C-alpha cells in the first residue's frame, strides 16, 4: 500500500498532541503508514457468547452477561479492594470477582446492575472466580465492545490499547480511500484476496474470524510481493567476462599460503575456498555469499581467495563497515600478506589528507594491489587501475547503493559478500535461489562452547563476582549496554554511567576503559589497543563491539538490558568471547518486564550458540515483515507458525513478480517503481 500522505506524521490526526506523539514514537509509530501497519498483538473474542461453564471446560475466556448480587470490601487496606458476587444471568451460576484497588467504585456495582463480562473463569474449592476480566455495563451503546472482535495492541504507560485502536480507526477513515494497492487487480481477483483498504480494515477491526484470516493472508501476500519486487528489481543478470587468464601459477601462491598457516583449515573452510576458486576461474562473474558464525574463520578464506587476482597483478578491495574492523583486518592482513611479499593499503575516513592522496595515487597507478578500508574505498574521487575482486565483510551493514558503488569501481569484479548473520536457509532458498552461498558451519578445532547464563537485574552482583574470579585468573571481560548515556525517557542502563559505577563501586582495583561511537577515534583506538594488550581488564561499551575486536584472552561478556538488543546483535556480541583457548561465558542480564519477543530472544540465546539456528529462530520471532530491515513493515506482528506453507506461497508470488517485471510497460509496475522509497534497503542486491 502506498500514497503520499502515508509518510505524513500522525500529528495530522486530531487527537494526537505532542505528548501522545512521543508515546506513539515509543511504539515505533511516527507516520500514518506505521500506524496503519501496527497490527494487533491478539484479539479478544467478545463476539460469540461463551458461558462460564464453557469457559471452565474449554479453558477459553468467557463472554457473557452477569447480574450483581452484592459487593464487599476485602483485605484491610483502607477499603481499597472490592469483591463482587454475581450470577450469570443465563444459568444462574454464582461467580466471584475480586477487584483490587477498585474500592472507590463500589457504587458502580450495585445489586441488580447488569454487566457484560469477558475473562477466564477458574474454579477453586468453593467458588468460580475471575481474577482478571473486562466488565462493561450491559446497556446498548455504540461504544460497546460486547458483540465485537476486539483488537489488542501493544500498549505503553499512558497509551492504552483502546486509544491505539481509536487512533487507527480514525486514520483508516481518513486515509483508506487514498490507498493505492501494490498488487495488480488481476491477482487480487484471481486469488480472491481483499483489497488493501478492506484488508487493513479487517486486520484491525474484523467483523468475523474468517475475514480476519483473509485479511491476514491478503496482507502477507502483499508484503511478500513487494519484497520480491524489490529484490528482483535490484538484481542484475549474471555478467560473463570470458575465461580468466589462467596461468599455471595462479593457484601456487594460495597453496604456499595454506602451507604456511599455523593451523589446518577446517573442512568447511576448504570447501568454501574451493567453491570461490572455481567461481573466480570460471567465465561468469562471481556473486557469492560466504556465511559463517562469528569466529568460524571467514577472514582467512577471504585472504586466501584474494591471492588469485593478486597473483595476476589485479586489484582487490576489502570493504568493512567500521573503522575498528578495518584496522583489525589491516593488522591481520599485514601479518598474512607480508610473508608473501604483498603490500597492504589502508584507507578510511580517518586517513590524513596527505596519506589519502598518496594512497589514491598508488591505487590509480596499480602500485597497491590490496586495499582494506571502510566506505572510503568507494569515494567519488578514488579510481582503481584494475579492480577485479571486491570482498564485503559484514555485508548486511551496507545498503544497496553502497554495494553498487563499490562494484562500479571495477569492470565486472568478482564479489564476495561475507556475513556472520546468516540468512536462514529456508529463506535463502526461497528468495535467492540464484545466489551462490558457501557456509562455514564447523568451528575451528579446540573451541569450547560459550556458556550462556541469564540473570535478572537484581542478581547482577553475582555475575560481577563471577567476572572478578575470572579476572583473578588473568582473563579479561566486556560489559555491554544499550545506551551511551542515561536517558530521561528510558529506564535503561548506559555505558557511561555504568563505567563510572563499575570502576568506583564494583571493580575499584581494576583498570576499565570505555568505548562508544561518540568518542573521538583516537580515544576509542587507545582503549581497544590497551584492552588487546591486556593493560585494561574490562572494556565497557555499547554495541560498537558487535563487529571487530578480537581478544583471545577475554573470557566473559556481560550484556545488561539484553532484551534491548536484536537476536543477531546478541549473537554477534557473544562472539566477542570464546575466541581463544579459555572456557568463556556470556551473561545476559534482563529486567522483569520483558516483551514477548524480548523474552523469546533471550531464551533463544540460552538455547543455542549456532548462528544458523538463531537466524531461523529470529525469522520465527520477527516474521517475514522485518526481513528487509524495516521495523513494523507489514507482517512483523505475526509469528509464522507454518513456515513451509509460507515458503510455498513465496514461490508462487516469485513467479508472478518475474512475469510482471518482464512486462516493463505495465502501468501498474511503473507506478510502483516510481515510488523510490520502496526500492532502497534490500537485504542482498540479488
Q: Which of residues 256-285 bind ligand ADP (CB under 6 A)?
A: 263, 265-266, 269
Q: Is 551 in the site for ligand ADP (CB under 6 A)?
A: no
φ, ψ of residue 304 in degrees (nearest 5): -60, -40
Q: Is 399 in the site for ligand ADP (CB under 6 A)?
A: no
Q: Is 321 in the site for ligand ADP (CB under 6 A)?
A: no
Whichever of 121 and 544 has its CB closer to ligand ADP, that residue is 544
**In whole angstroms, what is the distance from residue 202 CA to residue 214 CA?**
8
**Piece in contact with ligand ADP (CB under 6 A), picked from 90-98, 297-305, 351-359, 396-404:** 297-305
Max Cα-Cα span within the chain = 98
Residue (of 160, 413, 395, 399) closest to 292 by Cα position: 395
Q: Is 296 in the site for ligand ADP (CB under 6 A)?
A: yes
CB of 187 to ligand ADP, least distance (A): 42
**Piece in contact with ligand ADP (CB under 6 A), picked from 170-178, 248-256, 278-286, 294-302:** 294-302
Among 292, 345, 373, 625, the residue binding ligand ADP under the rule CB under 6 A is 292
Beta strands across the sheet bearing 122-123 = 122-123, 128-129, 94-99, 81-88, 62-74, 114-119, 133-137
> Radius of gyration over alpha carbons of the chain, in Å?
30
The set of cell numbers assigned to 387 is: 579492480
Query: What would the DSSP string read from start to end of 371-433?
Result: EEESGGGG-TT---SSEEEEEETTGGGS-HHHHHHHHTTSSS-EEEEEESSPPPHHHHHHH-T
Whichever of 439 and 550 has its CB closer to ligand ADP, that residue is 550
Among 119, 206, 295, 422, the residue binding ligand ADP under the rule CB under 6 A is 295
CB of 573 to ligand ADP, least distance (A): 13
Query: What would the DSSP string read from start to end of 149-196?
Result: EEEE---BTTB-HHHHHHHHHHHHHHHGGG-B-SS-HHHHHHTTPPPH
CB of 289 to ligand ADP, least distance (A): 13
CB of 60 to ligand ADP, least distance (A): 48
Q: Which of residues 29-68 bind ligand ADP (CB under 6 A)?
A: none
CB of 296 to ligand ADP, least distance (A): 4
φ, ψ of residue 99 in degrees (nearest 5): -125, 100
Mask: binding to ligand ADP, 143-182, rule CB under 6 A, as x and -?
----------------------------------------
Q: Which of residues 575-594 bind ligand ADP (CB under 6 A)?
A: 579
Measured CA distances, 382 to 110, 253, 360, 405, 574 (Å): 81, 28, 6, 11, 36
CB of 396 to ligand ADP, least distance (A): 14
φ, ψ of residue 394 in degrees (nearest 5): 50, 55
Query: Do 463 and 502 meet the contact criterion of CB atoms below 8 Å apart?
Result: no
CB of 575 to ligand ADP, least distance (A): 7
Whichever of 514 and 544 has its CB closer to ligand ADP, that residue is 544
Among 61, 151, 297, 345, the residue binding ligand ADP under the rule CB under 6 A is 297
**In whole angstroms, what is the distance from residue 50 CA to residue 298 CA?**
58
Residue (of 397, 530, 384, 558) closest to 465 by Cα position: 558
Q: Is 300 in the site for ligand ADP (CB under 6 A)?
A: yes
Q: Which of residues 431-460 bind ligand ADP (CB under 6 A)?
A: 444
The set of cell numbers assigned to 175 is: 486515509
Q: 64: which strand partners? A: 117
Mask: binding to ligand ADP, 467-506, rule CB under 6 A, as x and -?
----------------------------------------
First to last CA, the chain: 23
Whichever of 52 and 296 has its CB closer to ligand ADP, that residue is 296
Among 420, 558, 559, 650, the residue binding ligand ADP under the rule CB under 6 A is 420
Instruction: Tell me which residues touch ligand ADP (CB under 6 A).
Output: 263, 265-266, 269, 292, 294-300, 420, 444, 550, 579
Amino acid at each position: 500500500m502506498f500514497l503520499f500522505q502515508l509518510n505524513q506524521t500522525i500529528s495530522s490526526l486530531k487527537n494526537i498532541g505532542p505528548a501522545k506523539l512521543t508515546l506513539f514514537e515509543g511504539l515505533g509509530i511516527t507516520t500514518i503508514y506505521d500506524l496503519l501497519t501496527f497490527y494487533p498483538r491478539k484479539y479478544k473474542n467478545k463476539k460469540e457468547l461463551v458461558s462460564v461453564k464453557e469457559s471452565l471446560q474449554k479453558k477459553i475466556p468467557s463472554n457473557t452477561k452477569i447480574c450483581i448480587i452484592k459487593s464487599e470490601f476485602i483485605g484491610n487496606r483502607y477499603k481499597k479492594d472490592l469483591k463482587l458476587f454475581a450470577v450469570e444471568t443465563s444459568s444462574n451460576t454464582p461467580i466471584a470477582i475480586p477487584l483490587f484497588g477498585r474500592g472507590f467504585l463500589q457504587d458502580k456495582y450495585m445489586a441488580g446492575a447488569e454487566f457484560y463480562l469477558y475473562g477466564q473463569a477458574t474454579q477453586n474449592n468453593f467458588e468460580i472466580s475471575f481474577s482478571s476480566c473486562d466488565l462493561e455495563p450491559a446497556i446498548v451503546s455504540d461504544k460497546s465492545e460486547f458483540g465485537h472482535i476486539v483488537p489488542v495492541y501493544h500498549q505503553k504507560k499512558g497509551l492504552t490499547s483502546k486509544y491505539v485502536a481509536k487512533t487507527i480507526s480514525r486514520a483508516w477513515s481518513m486515509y483508506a480511500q487514498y490507498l493505492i494497492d501494490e498488487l495488480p487487480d488481476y491477482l487480487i481477483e484471481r486469488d480472491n484476496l481483499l483489497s488493501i483498504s478492506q484488508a487493513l480494515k479487517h486486520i484491525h477491526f474484523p467483523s468475523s474470524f474468517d475475514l480476519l484470516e483473509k485479511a491476514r493472508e491478503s496482507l502477507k501476500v502483499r508484503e511478500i510481493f513487494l519484497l520480491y519486487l524489490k529484490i528482483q528489481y535490484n538484481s542484475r543478470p549474471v555478467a560473463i567476462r570470458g575465461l580468466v587468464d589462467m596461468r599455471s601459477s595462479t593457484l601456487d601462491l594460495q597453496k604456499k599460503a595454506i602451507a604456511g598457516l599455523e593451523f589446518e583449515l577446517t573442512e568447511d573452510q576448504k570447501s568454501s575456498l574451493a567453491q570461490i576458486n572455481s567461481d573466480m576461474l570460471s567465465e561468469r562473474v562471481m556473486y557469492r555469499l560466504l556465511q559463517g558464525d562469528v569466529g568460524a574463520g571467514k577472514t582467512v578464506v577471504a585472504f586466501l581467495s584474494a591471492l588469485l587476482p593478486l597473483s595476476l597483478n589485479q586489484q582487490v578491495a576489502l570493504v568493512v563497515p567500521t573503522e575498528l574492523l578495518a584496522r583489525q583486518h589491516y593488522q591481520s592482513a599485514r601479518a598474512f600478506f607480508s610473508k608473501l611479499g604483498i603490500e597492504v593499503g589502508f584507507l578510511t575516513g580517518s586517513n590524513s589528507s596527505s596519506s589519502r592522496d598518496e594512497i589514491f595515487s598508488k591505487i590509480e597507478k596499480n602500485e597497491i594491489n590490496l586495499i582494506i578500508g571502510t566506505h572510503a574505498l568507494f569515494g567519488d574521487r578514488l579510481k582503481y587501475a584494475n579492480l577485479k575482486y571486491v570482498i564485503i565483510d559484514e555485508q548486511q551493514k551496507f545498503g544497496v547503493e553502497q554495494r553498487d558503488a563499490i562494484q562500479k569501481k571495477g569492470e565486472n569484479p568478482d564479489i564476495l559478500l561475507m556475513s556472520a548473520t546468516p540468512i536462514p536457509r529456508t529463506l535463502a532458498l526461497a528468495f535467492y535461489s540464484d545466489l551462490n552461498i558457501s557456509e562455514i558451519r564447523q568451528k575451528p578445532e579446540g573451541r569450547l562452547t560459550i556458556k550462556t547464563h541469564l540473570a535478572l537485574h537484581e542478581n547482577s552482583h553475582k555475575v560481577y563476582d563471577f567476572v572478578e574470579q575470572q579476572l583473578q585468573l588473568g582473563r579479561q571481560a566486556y560489559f555491554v549496554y544499550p545506551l551511551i548515556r542515561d536517558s530521561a525517557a528510558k529506564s535503561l542502563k548506559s555505558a557511561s554511567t555504568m563505567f563510572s559505577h563499575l570502576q568506583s563501586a564494583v571493580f575499584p582495583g581494576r583498570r576499565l576503559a570505555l568505548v562508544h561511537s561518540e568518542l573521538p577515534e583516537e580515544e576509542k583506538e587507545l582503549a581497544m589497543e590497551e584492552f588487546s594488550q591486556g593493560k585494561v581488564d574490562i572494556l565497557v561499551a555499547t554495541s560498537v563491539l558487535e563487529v571487530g575486536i578480537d581478544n583471545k584472552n577475554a573470557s566473559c561478556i556481560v550484556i545488561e538490558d539484553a532484551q534491548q538488543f536484536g537476536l543477531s546483535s546478541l549473537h554477534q556480541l557473544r562472539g566477542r568471547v570464546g575466541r581463544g583457548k579459555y572456557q568463556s561465558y556470556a551473561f545476559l542480564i534482563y529486567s522483569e518486564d520483558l516483551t514477548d519477543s524480548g523474552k523469546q530472544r533471550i531464551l533463544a540465546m540460552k538455547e543455542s550458540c549456532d548462528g544458523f539456528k538463531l537466524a531461523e529462530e529470529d525469522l520465527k520471532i520477527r516474521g517475514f515483515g522485518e526481513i528487509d530491515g524495516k521495523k513494523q513493515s507489514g507482517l512483523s506482528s505475526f509469528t509464522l507458525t507454518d513456515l513451509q506453507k509460507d515458503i510455498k506461497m513465496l514461490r508462487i508470488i516469485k513467479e508472478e513478480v518475474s512475469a510482471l517485471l518482464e512486462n516493463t510497460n505495465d502501468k501498474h509496475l511503473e507506478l510502483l517503481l516510481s515510488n523510490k522509497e520502496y526500492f532502497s534497503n534490500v537485504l542482498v542486491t540479488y
